Amino acid sequence: MTSIEKLLTSLGKPLDGNEYEIKNHNGEWWIDHKAIGSGEPLSQWLGKYIPQQEISDEKILDAAEEHSDSFLNRGVAMSSFARGCYWYREQLKGDA
């Protein structure tokens, strides 16, 4: 299973009411479950499933784009995912 497939699996099945959104909370990107109202920092979620070297590589966005329908079925817009990934990438550079 690829990193992107693991990420999608973590979101559960694309059912009504099982939707997420990626948004900026006071300068930090989060992924939130729309119905439950809970979430976690995007960096924490991505870090569980995608190795840092993949986040640093532009290929991760290409891989995500190949699964854009699967993300959209869960309420995740690719533009938000990409912005969150870029933000996380910058955070990793700052930690280096």
Q: Is residue 51 part of a domain?
A: yes
Tokens 């809970």 belong to residue:
38
Q: Is residue 11 part of a domain?
A: no
| Structural domain containing residue 80 | 20-95
One pLDDT digit (tens) per residue for the chain, 96 residues? 888 888 888 988 877 778 888 888 888 889 998 888 789 998 889 888 888 777 776 777 888 888 888 888 888 888 888 888 888 888 887 765
> What is the three-state SS of 45-72?
HHHHHCCHHHHCCCHHHHHHHHCHHHHH
Six token digits for residue 28 = 């930090």
Domain count, the chain: 1
